[in-house]
Structure formats: C-alpha cells, structure tokens
C-alpha cells in the first residue's frame, strides 16, 4: 500500500500499518523530508515514532520515496494524508489533496482503493473521484473516507487503540476492504453508507471538542467575576458521567494544526450552503479573546508592558509536541514584543521552530533561564517539567515576581505563600 504524505498523520499511519504486517511505501513531495527518513530520522518530535519507523524499515515493511511511480503501481490501497491548511475565506485548501489525486491517477496500473485520511469537508471524496476518473479512465478507483482522530503527542497509542474507526464510501465493498486493515485493532468500526457522513464525523468531532474548550473558558470568564474557581467548576462538571472530564481545561484556549482551521472550514462550508453557524462563530471568537486575556492580566499586574521582561514557559501548542501551528504562544509573544516588552522563552521541544517564527524572542537553556531577571513569567504550555520547578529559586531570580498561569498548573495559595503575584485563568 502507499501512504501519501509524510507528516504526523501519514508517518504514524504508515509506521503503524507496517507494524501490523503490511508492506507500506510512503510518498512525499518534500525531498528533504524523504532524505531524512531514509536515514531513519523523523523530521518532527513524536514519542515512540522513530523507534517504530526504524524497526519496520529494518524489517523492509516500510519504505520512503518521492516518486509516485515507485509507490502506486501494484498497490491495492493509496492512503492520502496530505495537508489541508486554511484556504481563502477560511475554507479548507484542497489543492494538496487534488494534486495527490492527480499523481495517483497518473500512476495507477490496476484497480485501487483510495483512502482519504486528510481532514476534508464533505464532497471532497467526490472531487477526488472525479479527478482520478478524468485522468485515468482505464482503471477503477473507489474513494473511501477514513478520517484520522489521532492526537499529536500520543499519535501511536491513538492509532493503535482508537475509540472508533470511521469509514464511509459510496461503495460498500471498498469500505469493507478498508475495514479489514483495522481488524487487528479490535476497535469499534462505523461504516457509513455514504462518504459525506464519514467526512462530516471528523469536522463535527473537532468542532465539538473546540466548543467544549470555548464553553469552559466562557464559564471561566464568568467565574472570575463572581469569585468562583473555574478549575474546580470544570472538575465538578466533569464528574457528571453525561459530561465527562475531557476537553474542559480552563486556560488560554485551543491551538494547533487542527481545531482552528477545522472549525473555520466548517463555518465557511456552512456559509457556502446558506447557513449562518452562530455557535461555531462564538467558539472561534471566545478562543481568540482567550489568548489576549494573558496580555490583559500582564498589563494589569505590571502597569505597563513597555520595557518589561516577560518569560514564557512553553511555546508548543500543547505538551509533548514541537508543533507550533496556531500556537497561542505566537500571538502572545508578538503582542508583547509590539508593546515593547523583552520576551524570553523556553520550551523543551519547540525552540528550533520558534527561532524561525519568532526571531525577536530570546531563547533560554531551561525554565530558570526564562525566569532569570524577568518581571513576569507566563505559563503558556503545560509541560510536566514546569510543574516540578523549584519555585523558590524561580522567585529569587526574578525582578518582579508576577506569574500569569495560562494553564492553571500551580496552586494559587502556594504561589502567593511564596510571595508571587499570581494570576490564574478563571480563578483570581
């Protein structure tokens, strides 16, 4: 089988399917990425992935190429896992999917099941089908939607132990053929009788999770005003089995490669079909404002931001990844720099990428370096190592001991006891 795209989803899918005993070839148009992979180097940080790739590459079940000619002929599945970034007007940019479909069509030498794993709006499967049919009338291609739900940072675990596998196609036989790939995982498999439903499950799931985050952050805004502790409010809500505790973390909102663009794309899709998605718009507005709450709290605690030194703990959009796509840290650092602050930052995994995206920031060797001489410290990403810092040492090294805890990882009473001016989110 061929996997198209050597990103987080493509590489995880390829390595896991190879580990389940399949012969997999990964194709990517990025030569540098493929060159690194051929040397067993994974071009991003994902726990356990390089070991899995190395093991399967050694066993010759996993290979890498830039050539569709090498990957497609003879394959029975082509799994598309290319990027679908934000396009014009917020709609998903499907040009990479379209180009992958064209390249597949040009190299097909027999019937093929084309599996779309990229996150795409309903009707994209039909577009892929049309593109392939127009370029290659000789061979039959059945297009199947099989959205991916893995999370960066736990990608292998999520792929190997999914809550569910969703598969949809106009052709039941093709959907069932894709289902056989997942049989070893013994997970619930939902086969939808048309492709649009499977495509919609992915957007609806991401939009719902984003809505939970914006919901609890709105509750946090209200809690701050009435003296409630939103972290405990979330805990109290989450104990209700109907609600559950996931995605109720009060903080500076969601970021990353998926939620932002997917909620936007779903809203844009709705507008295109003459529906005004009020709830989705509110989810996005609350999330945008939540990032700036950190700035408001800093301004309030420091009086002004000009010529202040602010240390950022964490840059990645969440812990255990080096991914900076749509990370709140980018907005926060840029606003601080524009306001005249000197920004120092430390992240255990994301500093290499950050140096390129935020050249005006000073990067430190560890969290203590970010705190040293700073007027304020902001917790942006809740990496575990920040929970275990020697806070007395941090306090002693700072010029003014202000902490804005954007992820509520510290105990307010303990921090105030140590002499910090502490500001959490939803529980001042």
Point out the residues that are catalytic. Answer: 258
Could you tell me the two tokens for 415? Answer: 């921090």
Closest CB 257 distance from ligand NAD, rounded Å: 5
C-alpha closest to that of 141 among 151, 131, 156: 131
Closest CB 84 distance from ligand NAD, rounded Å: 4
Closest CB 38 distance from ligand NAD, rounded Å: 14
Stretch 366-385: interaction string toward ligand NAD, x if CB under 6 A: --------------------
> Which residue, 29 or 409, has its beta carbon nearer to ligand NAD?
29
State which of positions 88-147 bind ligand NAD (CB under 6 A): 96, 99-100, 118-119
> Which residue, 181 or 371, has its beta carbon nearer to ligand NAD?
181
Q: Are 152 and 321 within 8 A, CB to CB?
A: yes
Give the integer Cα–Cα distance in Å for 344 and 35: 34
SS3 for 180?
helix
168 vs 122, 177, 208, 341, CA distance in Å?
A: 11, 11, 20, 51
215 vs 231, 318, 367, CA distance in Å?
A: 13, 19, 31
- In the chain, how many H helices and how many E strands? 18, 14
State which of positions 62-81 bind ligand NAD (CB under 6 A): 81
Number of residues that bind ligand NAD (CB under 6 A): 27
Contacting residue, 46, 152, 322, 347, with ligand NAD by CB under 6 A? 152
Sheet of 402-405, strands arranged across: 362-363, 342-346, 309-313, 376-379, 402-405, 421-423
State which of positions 8-47 bind ligand NAD (CB under 6 A): 8-10, 27-30, 33
Give the integer Cα–Cα distance in Å for 69 and 27: 10
Closest CB 211 distance from ligand NAD, rounded Å: 18
Contacting residue, 34, 53, 82, 167, with ligand NAD by CB under 6 A? 82
Instruction: List residues bridging with 346 in a β-sheet.
Output: 313
Closest CB 190 distance from ligand NAD, rounded Å: 17
> Which residue, 204 or 239, has its beta carbon nearer to ligand NAD?
204
Contacting residue, 56, 63, 83, 145, with ligand NAD by CB under 6 A? 83
State which of positions 233-272 bind ligand NAD (CB under 6 A): 257-258
> Which residue, 83 or 145, has its beta carbon nearer to ligand NAD?
83
Closest CB 137 distance from ligand NAD, rounded Å: 22
3-state secondary structure 129-154: HHHHHHHCCCCCEEEEECCCCCCCCC
Could you tell me the two tokens for 160? Answer: 């190997």
Tell me which H or E stretch contains 112: strand 112-116
Instruction: List residues bridging with 379 in a β-sheet.
Output: 313, 405
> Which residue, 83 or 408, has its beta carbon nearer to ligand NAD?
83
165-169 and 141-145 beta bridge pairing: antiparallel
> Which residue, 231 or 325, has its beta carbon nearer to ligand NAD?
325
Q: Tell me which residue has its CB nearest to ligand NAD.
A: 7
Residues interacting with ligand NAD, by CB under 6 A?
A: 4-10, 27-30, 33, 81-84, 96, 99-100, 118-119, 148, 150-152, 257-258
């Amino acid at each position: 089988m061929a996997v198209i795209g050597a990103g987080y989803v493509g590489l995880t899918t390829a390595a896991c399917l190879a580990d389940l005993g399949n012969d997999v070839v990964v194709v990517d148009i990025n030569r540098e990425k493929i060159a690194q992979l051929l040397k067993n180097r994974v071009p991003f940080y994902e726990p356990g992935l390089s070991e899995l790739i190395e093991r399967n590459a050694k066993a010759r079940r996993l290979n890498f190429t830039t050539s569709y000619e090498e990957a497609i002929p003879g394959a029975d599945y082509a799994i598309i896992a290319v990027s679908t970034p934000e396009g014009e007007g917020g709609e998903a940019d499907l040009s990479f999917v379209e180009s992958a479909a064209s390249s597949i069509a040009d190299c097909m030498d027999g019937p093929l099941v084309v599996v779309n794993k990229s996150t795409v709006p309903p009707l994209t499967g039909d577009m892929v089908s049309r593109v392939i049919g127009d370029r290659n009338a000789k061979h039959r291609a059945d297009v199947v939607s099989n959205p991916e739900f893995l999370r960066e940072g736990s990608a292998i675990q999520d792929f190997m132990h999914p809550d569910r596998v969703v598969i949809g196609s106009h052709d039941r036989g093709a959907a069932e053929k894709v289902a056989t790939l997942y049989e070893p995982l013994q997970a619930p498999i939902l086969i939808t009788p048309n492709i649009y439903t499977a495509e919609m499950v992915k957007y609806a799931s991401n939009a719902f999770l984003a809505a939970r985050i914006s919901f609890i952050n709105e509750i946090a805004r209200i809690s701050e005003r009435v003296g409630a502790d939103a972290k405990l409010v979330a805990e109290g809500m989450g104990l209700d089995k109907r609600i559950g505790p996931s995605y109720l973390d009060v903080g500076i909102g969601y970021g990353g490669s998926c939620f932002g663009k997917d909620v936007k794309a779903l809203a844009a899709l709705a507008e295109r079909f003459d529906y005004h998605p009020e709830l989705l718009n509110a989810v996005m507005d609350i999330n945008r404002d939540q990032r700036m709450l950190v700035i408001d709290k800093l301004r309030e605690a420091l009086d002004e931001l000009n010529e202040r030194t602010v240390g950022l703990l964490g840059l990645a959009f969440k812990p255990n990844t080096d991914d900076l796509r749509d990370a709140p840290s980018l907005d926060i650092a840029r606003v601080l720099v524009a306001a005249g602050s000197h920004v120092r930052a430390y992240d255990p995994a994301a500093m290499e990428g950050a140096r390129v995206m935020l050249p005006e920031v000073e990067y430190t060797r560890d969290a203590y370096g970010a705190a040293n001489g700073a007027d304020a410290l902001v917790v942006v990403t809740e990496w575990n190592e920040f929970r275990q810092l020697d806070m007395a040492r941090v306090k002693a090294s700072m010029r003014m001991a202000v902490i804005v805890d954007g992820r509520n990882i510290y105990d307010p009473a303990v921090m105030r006891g140590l002499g910090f001016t502490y500001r959490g989110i939803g529980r001042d």
